[in-house]
Amino acid sequence: MTSPALPGDPNPSGDREAAVLDAAATGFPAALSDLGQLVRIPGMAWPAFDQTQLERSSEAVAALASGTGVFDDVRILRAAIPGTDEVGQPAVLATRAARNGKPTILLYAHHDVQPPGDDALWETPPFEPTVRDGRLYGRGAADDKAGIMAHIASIRAVAEVLGDDLELGIAMFVEGEEEYGSRSFAQFLSDNKDALRADAIVVADSGNWDSSTPGLTVSLRGNARFTVRVRTLDHASHSGMFGGAVPDAMMATVTMLATLWNADGSVAVEGMIERDAQTPDYTEETLRDEAGLLPGTSPIGDGTILSRIWNKPSVTVIGIDATSVAAASNTLLPEVTVVISARVAPGQTGEDAYAALEAHLRAHAPFGAELTFSDVDLGNGFLVDTSGWAVALTREAMRDGYGVAPVDLGVGGSIPFIADLVREFPQAQILVTGVEDPHSRAHSPNESLHLDTFRHAVATEALLLSRMNDII
Ligand SMILES: [Zn+2]
C-alpha cells in the first residue's frame, strides 16, 4: 500500500506521519486523564448494580466522540434482547461517511466493566484511577476503557494533522454489556447495519505479547458449557445397607468424568479436534509463574505449551452440586449435578464440540446411570483471515507504532460476538487488537494498564487511520 505522492513533494506522507505521531504524543496526557474519568464511572451490566452508571458512561463516551469533531452523527442507542421483552444496555454509535471513495473503518470497544470483586483485594480502590510504577490501576483501566481511549486519542491525532484531508469513513461502536454476554449485540448489528458497514473492523479488546511487543490476535478458541445431572437411585439410602451392591451417583459421576482426559491431562473426547499451527516459544517456567502452578504440580497436555492453550481443546469441571462436606453423612447419593466448561479449538464449532462431548459422556456413563443435559451455552472460535490488505497495514502500523514487529497471537479464551460480526459483515476484515499485556489482570483485582503499551497502541492506531486515509 503506497501513499499518493504529489509532484515536487519528496515525502509528503512521511512528514505527515511524523506530525501524526507528534500529535498522538502531545495528546497523550489528555487521553490518560480522560481515561481516568471513565474509570471513575462504575458501569456494570449485572442487574445487581446501579444501571444508571451505564447511562453515565455511555454519555461520557458520546461526549468524547462528539469532541473529536470528526463524526457526522453521535447517538446513544439500545437494541432489543431477542427472546425477551428487555432491551440491552446503552451503546454509543458515532459515524462519519467516507469521502472521495475512501474506505471505512469500524472501531469497536466496550464501556461496561467487570464487577470489582472483593474490594479488600485491591491495593487502591477499583474506581479510583491510580498511577503506580508506570501502570494505571483501576477497574476498566485496561478492559476496555483504554480500548475506547485508544480510538478517541488516535482520531484526535489524525483529525488535528489531516484536517479536511481526513476523508476516511469512521464508525465507532462502543457497547455497554460485553462483560455480561453482549445479549443485544446481534440485534444491534442488524438494527444498525448500514451505519456499521465497514471495510475493516478493529476490535480493541484483546492483548499483546508483552508490554513492549505488540500482538495481533489471529485465533480465538470457542466454548461449550453445559450442565449434566447424573442419577443412579430414586432415593438416598444408608451406605451400610446397600453400599457395595448399588452405584451411588458420585461414583458414577467421577468414573464418567475421569474418561474425559488422557493420563497426561489432554482431552480424550473423540470428535473434539485440534488445530495444527505454529506457536511461539513459551517456557514451562513462564507458565508456572503466570498461572501460579504449585512447585510440585506438573503442567498437563502434550505438544508445545501455547499449542495446548491456543490450538487444542480443554475440558474443565467448573461446578458441582452434591452434599457439602459439612452436611456429609453415610449415605448413597442418588444424584449429582456438574457444570462442564470446554474450550474448543479454533476451526471447530461450539455445536460440533458439544455434540462430541454429549456423545462421549453418554457412551461412558457407567452402570447405566441416567444423564440429563441442560443449560447448553455455545460460542464459536475464530480464525482471522490474515491475507487481507488491512491485516498487512495493521501489522506495519504496529511495527512502526511500537518500534517492534508484532507477534501473531492465539487466545485461549473466546470473544463470542466476533462470530456475530463475521455473520453480519462477511466482507469486512477483522482486526483484533488491544491494550492489555500479560500483567493487566483484566477481570481480577488490581487490573492495570501499562502506560507504554497504551502510548504505543495510540500511536499504532493513529498510523493505521492515517495510512488508511491514504488509500486510493
Ligand atoms: Zn473486554
Residue 247, Ramachandran bin (φ over 0: left; ψ between -120 and 50: alpha; else beta): beta
Q: How far is the CA of 207 from the centre of ligand 1 (A)?
A: 10
Note whether residue 284 is domain-resident: no
Quote the CA–CA distance of 42 and 173 in Å, as a whole number: 20
- Average pLDDT rounded to a whole number, residues 349-359: 97
Residue 429 domain boundaries = 14-220+381-469
Count of other CB atoms within 10 angstroms of residue 283: 9
Note whether residue 1 is domain-resident: no
Note whether residue 289 is domain-resident: no
* pLDDT score for 234: 96
Q: How far is the CA of 437 from the centre of ligand 1 (A)?
A: 13
Model confidence at 283: pLDDT above 60:
yes
3-class DSSP state of 209: coil
Are 360 and 426 found together in one domain? no
Q: Tell me, what CATH number does 360's domain have?
A: 3.30.70.360
Are 250 and 186 found together in one domain? no
**Per-position DSSP letters for 277-311, written without gaps between them:** -------HHHHHHHHT--TTPPP-SSS-HHHHHHT
pLDDT digits (tens, 9 = 90+) for 411-420: 998 888 898 8
Q: How far is the CA of 258 from the centre of ligand 1 (A)?
A: 34
Note whether residue 109 is domain-resident: yes
Tell me which residues are annotated as active site: 112, 178
- Average pLDDT rounded to a whole number, residues 255-262: 98
Are 162 and 64 found together in one domain? yes
* pLDDT score for 12: 64
Is residue 439 within 8 A of residue 452, CB to CB? The reply is no
Q: How far is the CA of 82 from the centre of ligand 1 (A)?
A: 22
Are 185 and 238 found together in one domain? no
Q: How far is the CA of 402 from the centre of ligand 1 (A)?
A: 22
**Per the structure, how many domains does the chain have?**
2
Are 56 and 67 found together in one domain? yes
Are 372 and 250 found together in one domain? yes
Q: Which residue type does 271 have?
A: G
Note whether residue 400 is domain-resident: yes
Is residue 384 within 8 A of residue 271, CB to CB? The reply is no
Note whether residue 452 is domain-resident: yes
- Average pLDDT rounded to a whole number, residues 192-213: 96
Q: How far is the CA of 383 from the centre of ligand 1 (A)?
A: 19
Q: How far is the CA of 112 from the centre of ligand 1 (A)?
A: 8
Are 182 and 104 found together in one domain? yes
Query: pTM of the predicted model, to two decimals?
Result: 0.86
Q: Tell me, what CATH number does 144's domain have?
A: 3.40.630.10
Which residue in 220, 467, 211, 215 sits closest to 344, CA to CA? 220
pLDDT digits (tens, 9 = 90+) for 3-60: 444 444 556 678 999 999 999 999 999 999 999 999 999 999 999 999 999 999 999 9
Among the candidates 352, 379, 406, a domain finishes at 379
3-class DSSP state of 154: helix
Place of cell 500479560: 438
* pLDDT score for 10: 54
Are 419 and 359 found together in one domain? no
Q: How far is the CA of 445 from the centre of ligand 1 (A)?
A: 15
* pLDDT score for 116: 95
- Average pLDDT rounded to a whole number, residues 91-117: 97
- Pairing label, strands 429-436, 200-207: parallel
Is residue 348 within 8 A of residue 272, CB to CB? The reply is yes
Q: How far is the CA of 90 from the centre of ligand 1 (A)?
A: 16
Are 118 and 142 found together in one domain? yes
Are 26 and 102 found together in one domain? yes
* pLDDT score for 291: 85
Q: How far is the CA of 179 from the centre of ligand 1 (A)?
A: 7
The three cell numbers locating residue 46: 449485572
Among the candidates 349, 379, 409, a domain finishes at 379
Q: How far is the CA of 144 from the centre of ligand 1 (A)?
A: 5
The three cell numbers locating residue 464: 493505521
The residues, any chain, with a CB within 8 Å of residue 440's CB and separated by 6 or more, are: 142, 143, 207, 447, 448, 449, 450
Among the candidates 339, 363, 379, a domain finishes at 379
* Average confidence score pLDDT of the chain: 95
Are 248 and 212 found together in one domain? no
Note whether residue 35 is domain-resident: yes
Q: How far is the CA of 181 from the centre of ligand 1 (A)?
A: 11
Are 459 and 405 found together in one domain? yes
3-class DSSP state of 72: coil
Which residues are 216's β-sheet partners?
408
Q: How far is the CA of 108 from the centre of ligand 1 (A)?
A: 10
Note whether residue 306 is domain-resident: no
